[in-house]
């Protein structure tokens, strides 16, 4: 289906890389350092849409005719505020204390870019945490080092097993890529020039 296309994943996330492998897609990885700064008036999916497009635009004029670039961004949205990746252990503790006994949204945006067109789409999943003790939070951070994860947690980790009481929407979105939506959009992108 994609044999005549060169899929390029511009992400250092091992979870996104694994998902593309699991989808049986042939792809290469190209990473560019992009300062992930967005206008302060943006909210929720506006932030992730903006950042996914920003990452894609870093490759402007470098793509060849058969290339399809894939970029992505994920945030945790809680009480009208974006939680990104934690700066350090105490920042991670603070984030997880905010998430405990609360429901938040995980929002992932994906950008598909070629020499012909650019498309951005997003997915939202509601995640509810049960109450977490400080000991549980510190145990998790010490043993799982979630410093590369938005909101300081990975749903696939220990904390997902003991701390998440409810999820509404795509599980893979919370891990880092809404695979069902992504695959559907990728097929449409290739089939509808």
Residues serving a catalytic function are 73
**What's the CA gap between 110 and 119, in Å, rounded?**
8
For 51, other C-beta atoms within 10 Å of its C-beta total 23
- For residue 141, what are the CA distances in angstroms to 23, 66, 131, 155, 166? 30, 42, 16, 13, 21
47, 34 contact by CB (below 8 A): no
Q: Are 67 and 114 in contact (CB under 8 A)?
A: yes
Report helix angle 14-22 to 179-191, nearest 10. Answer: 60
Helix (H, G, I), strand (E, B) or coil at 111: strand
**Is the Cα dihedral 175, 178, 180, 182 positive or negative?**
negative
């Amino acid at each position: 289906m994609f044999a005549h296309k060169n899929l390029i994943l511009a992400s250092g996330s091992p979870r996104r890389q694994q998902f593309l492998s699991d989808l049986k897609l042939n792809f290469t990885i190209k990473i560019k350092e992009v300062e992930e700064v967005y206008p302060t008036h943006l909210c929720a999916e506006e932030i992730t849409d903006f950042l996914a497009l920003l990452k894609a635009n870093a490759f402007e004029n470098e793509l060849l005719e058969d290339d399809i670039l894939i970029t992505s961004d994920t945030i945790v949205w809680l009480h009208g505020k974006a939680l990104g990746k934690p700066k350090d252990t105490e920042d991670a503790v603070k984030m997880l204390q905010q998430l405990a006994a609360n429901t938040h949204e995980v929002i992932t945006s994906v950008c598909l870019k070629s020499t012909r067109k650019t498309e951005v789409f997003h997915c939202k999943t509601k995640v509810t945490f049960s109450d977490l003790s400080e000991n549980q939070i510190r145990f998790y951070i010490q043993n799982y080092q979630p410093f590369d994860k938005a909101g300081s947690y990975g749903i696939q980790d220990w904390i997902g097993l003991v701390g998440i009481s409810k999820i509404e929407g795509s599980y893979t979105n919370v891990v880092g890529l809404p695979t069902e939506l992504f695959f559907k959009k990728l097929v449409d992108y290739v089939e509808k020039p």
